[in-house]
Amino acid sequence: MSFIADKTVYKSMGFCGVGDGANIANVDVKDGKVVRIRPVHYDELYTKEDLNYWTIKARGSQFEPGMKSLLPPLSLTYKNRIYSKNRVPYPLKRVDWDPNGERHPETRGESRYERISWDEALDIVADEIKRIHDAYGPASILCQGGGHAETKNATGTHGVQTAMFNTLGTGCVVQARNADSWEGWYWGGKYVWGNDPVGEQVQLTNVLKDIAENSDAVLHWGCDLETTPWGWGGQLSSRTAYWFTEIGIKQIFICPELNYSAAIHADKWIPVLPNTDAALQLAIAYVWMTEGTFDREYLETHTVGYDHLERYVLGEEDGVPKTPKWAEEKCHVPSYTIKALARYWAKHSVSIGHGNGGGYIRSCFSHEPARLEICLLAMQGVGKPGANQFKFLEKSLFYDPTVNPYPRSEVIPSTFACFKGALLDEQMLGKNFVPQTLIPNAIGGEKFDWYGHTMCTFGISDQLKPFQFPNPGNQPIHMVWSTGPCWQTCWNGGFRFQDVIRSEAVECYIVQHQWMENDTNFADLILPVTTKVEEYDLNNDIESGQFNMMYLEEPAIEPFCDARSDYAIVCGVAKSLERFGGIYAGLHDKITEGLTDEELLKRGYEMSGIPLDQMPWEKFKQQKLWISPTVKGWEDEPAGLIGFYEDPESHPFSTPSGKIEIYSTLIADNFPDDAERGPVPHWVEESPLHHERITSDRAQEYPYLLMSNHPRWRVHAQHDDCIWLREIQTCKVVGPDGYAYEPIWINPADAAEKGLKNGDVAELFNERGRVLGGIIVTERIMPGALYQDHGARVDTIVPGTGGLDRGGANNMICPSATTSKNCAGEVTNSFLVGIRKVDVFELAEQYAEAFGREYDPACGLVASARIEKE
C-alpha cells in the first residue's frame, strides 16, 4: 500500500538551538494532520558531485556522511509531542489571581485555571508592565528565556520578550543563560589553555581523520555519544563509534554507569564514583611522574607551571602523595586498574571524546577535573598525531568552522538576521542581568555578587569582572515573564525556586509555552504557543556534521486551538501597550521594523552568507533547501592542535603566556584566596558551600551519589510526554498505582541492602526534599551510586523546600549553591541523596487531591487536570 501525503515540508528537528539548528526532517501531512516525520534524502536535489561528498579512508576502511539526514528517535517521535494531551489550548488565568484584587501568590502551583480571551490576556500583560514600570521601575521585571526549547528563529522563543524591552528603551532584568553544558570547561579549562568561548578544544579541524589514522584508543570520559547528540545532531556520532571499532580503535569508557554508548561500544568500562574523576586523574599523573612515562620535553616547551603540579601530586605540598591507593578510596576505581590505564595511555596515542562532559562537568568543583584532564593531555603531548580532545556534538558551534572534527562545509549559513529571540551579548544583557543559576536569589530579594556574565559566548577576561544584584537604586523583582519555563527541572534547586516564585514579592508571573508543564503550572497567566510545525520560519542545519544547509520551514498544520507564536504574542503585548502613549507609542512597528513575515525571512536568507548568485531568494523559495558543499581540499588542512604541537610560538593559545598554563597566572593574580579553585588544580574534599562527598557528615544520612545525565529519552525537559518513547522499558517504570515513574538505577548490592526490587517505587531524598522514581536493579550502575536522568516533568505533590515531587525531577533536590565561590555554574549532578521504598497507596491517601489529578500513563500529565471546565 503506497502512502501519499497531501503536503510535505522541511523542519528542523533539533531541540536546543539559539539561531543554529540540526536534524533536518521531512514532515508529512495528511488531512490536515502530521502523520509522519522522516529523513530528508539529499539526492532528491543534489548529487554527490554537487556536494563535494567527503570520504575518510583509514586502515582499509572508509567513513562517509551518507545522503540522507540521520534523525534520532526524538525527532521521529515529535509528532506525539505536537498532539500531546498536555498542550495549552488557549490563554489561561489562575482562578484565584485577580490583577485588580487579591493575587494569592501562596497557591501558585496548586490553583486551577480558567479560559480568557486573547484580548484580555494581552491587556493584562500590558497593564502589569505599565503598573510595574510606574510603581517600581523597569528593573523590577525579570525576563526568563533559555536555550532549552524548540529551535526557532523568526517566530521567537528564547527570550523574545527581552528584545521588546530593549526596543522600548527601558530594559529589564535579563536572565543570562549559564554555560550549563560546559560548566567545568568554562570555569576551569579556559584558564589552562584558553579555547574560548567554552573551554573545550575548539581547533577540531580534521580530528576525526587524525584519530582514524593515528589513534590507538579513544577515552570516552563522562560521555554518552549514543544519547547526548540526539537533540543537537542526530546519529552521525553513533556511526562514528561503530567505525572506530571496525578499524581497531579501542574505546574506553570512564563513567559511573554503563551508559547506552558504553553498553554498545566499550572495549573497557571503568566505573568511577560520581564527581571523583579528579582523584583518578591525579593518580594517573602520579604513575607517570614516578615511572617517568610522560613527555617532559613537551612540558618544558609548551606549558608553564608543571613543577607546581608535580609537587602537589607527589605529596611535597601537603604531605599526601596522590597514589593509586589514595585515589581508590576517593573514586572506588581499584588501584591496579588506575595503574593499568596510566601505563596503557603512556604507551599509546590516545584522544579523549566528550558529549560536552555530562555529569563529569556539572558538579561542585567541576573546574578541577576539567583542568586536570588538560594537564594529563599535556603530559602526553596533546596535539601530536592521534592525541586531541574532541566532542561528538555541536559541529560548527557558534558558527566557528574549526569546531567540527568532520570535514567542514564551505559555508555556515546564519539565521541571525531574522532571529527574534534574545541574542544575549553584552549590550543586550545591559547592566541589569542575573546568571541563570542565581535566579532564586534574585526573585527572593537577596543582595549578592558574582563574577562574569556567565554566558558561554564570552571570553575568559569576562570572568574577571565583578557584578552585583540589585544595582544601586533598583527595586526588587515584582514581575516575572518567562518564555523558557523549565527552570525548576533543568537548573539548580527547583524546590527553592518554588519557594521564591510563591512569595508575595512576585505580584505577577507570566509564562508563554506550548505545554502545561514544569514552571508553567505556577504561572498566574499562561499564553499558549505554537509548535514549530505550525509556524513559517527559516532554519539551518549546521550541527549534524554531514553538510551545512539552509531551508524554508513552511507551516505543516494550522495552529493548535488558540496558540500563537512567541513573537506574535510579544507583538500583541506591544500593540496593547501603545494605548498608554508616551514611551510606548509606536512600539509594535519598532519591533516588527515594518516587515511582513516573508520580508523578515528574506532578510534572514539574504544576510545568511549563502552565495546569492548561486541561489537567489526567489529560487530558494521554490527549492526550499540549499546545501553547502564540502570545502575543497579539506583533507589537506592541519589536524587539531598539530600547529601548537609542532610550533607553539607560532600557534599560541589565548592564555597570557600563549602556552598551556598548568599554573594559572590569571587565577593567581585575580583570585589569590580561592581555596576551591587555586592556580594549580587540586582535589577538593569539601568547602563551606559544598558537602557532597561520601566522607561528608551528610553522607551518614544521605550515603549515595546521584548520577543525573542528559536524558536518554528527552532533550532536557522536552519529550517527556511522547507516547512511543514512554513504552520503552528504560524510559518509565509503571508503578502499582499505574503511574509511569522516572527510572532509578541501583546496583544489586545496594538494592538488597535497601530491600528494593525491580518495579518498586522509591524516593530519593535529602534535606532539600523528596523525588519519586521507579526502581531498575542493574549491574549497569556501580555500588554507592544511583542513576536517574534529569529533566523529567515536575509533578509537585508538596511544593517548596522539603517538598515532594512525583515526576522524578531530581533537579528539585540538587544544591542551590553554585560550582564554587567564584564560579556561578550549576551543580546538578553527583550530589548526596538517600533512597528508601515508599508505599504509593499510603501517599495517595495522605495527598489525595494531588494524587487524584487526571493522568494518562501513555503520555503523563494532561492539561485538562488543571483547567476549569467551561
Exposure class string for 345-371: b at 16+ Cβ within 10 A, else e: bbeebbbbbbbbbbbbbbbbbbbbbbb
The whole-angstrom separation of Cα 688 and Cα 115 is: 48
pLDDT score recorded for residue 185: 96
Write the CB contacts of 381 (distance below 8 Å, at least 6 apart in sequence). 295, 298, 302, 387, 645
Rounded to an integer, the average pLDDT of 104-118 is 98
What are 407-465's pLDDT values in tens digits? 999 999 999 999 998 877 766 677 899 999 999 999 999 999 999 999 888 899 999 99
Is there a contact between 529 and 1 (Cβ–Cβ < 8 Å)? no
**Dihedral sign, Cα of residue 401, residue 404, residue 408, residue 414:** negative
The residue-averaged pLDDT of 603-616 equals: 97
Find out whether 809 and 711 touch, Cβ atoms under 8 Å: no
Question: pTM for this one?
Answer: 0.97
**Three-state SS at 634:** helix
End-to-end CA distance of the chain: 43
pLDDT of 389 above 90: yes
Contact in structure between 159 and 436 (CB atoms under 8 Å): no
Task: Tell me the mean pLDDT in the region 503-513.
Answer: 97
pLDDT per residue over 206-251, tens digit each?
Answer: 999 999 999 999 999 999 999 999 999 999 999 999 999 999 999 9
Confidence at residue 346, expressed as pLDDT on a 0 to 100 scale: 98
pLDDT above 90: residue 527: yes
DSSP secondary structure, 505-536, as one string: T--EEEEEESBS-GGGGG-SEEEEB--GGGS-
All three cell numbers of 77:
517521535
Task: Check residue 54 and give its pLDDT.
Answer: 98
Query: In this model, does residue 299 exceed pLDDT 90?
Result: yes
Share of the chain above pLDDT 90, in %: 93
Average pLDDT over residues 87-107: 98
Q: What is the mean pLDDT of residues 300-314?
A: 98
pLDDT above 70 for 3:
no
Average pLDDT, rounded, for the chain: 96
Quote the crossing angle between the two packed helices 236-246 and 207-214, to the nearest 10°. 20
Phi-psi domain of 830 (left: phi exceeds 0; alpha: psi -120 through 50; beta: other): left
Give the pLDDT confidence of 771-792 residue by residue, as tens digits. 999 999 999 999 999 999 999 9
Cα–Cα distance measured from residue 118 to residue 571, given in angstroms and rounded to the nearest whole number? 12
Least confident of 1-15, 169-183, 340-354, 391-405: 1-15
Write the DSSP string, 536-559.
-EEEEE-SSSS--EEEEE---SPP
Distance from C-alpha of 428 to C-alpha of 510, rounded to nearest angstrom: 21
Q: Is the pLDDT of residue 2 over 60?
A: no
Proportion of the chain above pLDDT 70, given as a percent: 99
Q: Using CA atoms, how far apart are residues 337 and 473, in angstroms rounded to an integer?
A: 59
CB 226 within 8 A of CB 234: no
Residue 870 confidence (pLDDT): 65
Separation of CA 61 from chain center:
34
pLDDT in tens, 837-864: 999 999 999 999 999 999 999 999 999 9
For residue 153, the Cα-to-chain-centroid distance in whole angstroms is 19
Question: Mean pLDDT, to the nearest integer, of 53-69?
Answer: 98
Find the Cα–Cα–Cα–Cα dihedral 288, 290, 293, 296, rounded to 10°: 90
**What does the pLDDT read at residue 194?**
97
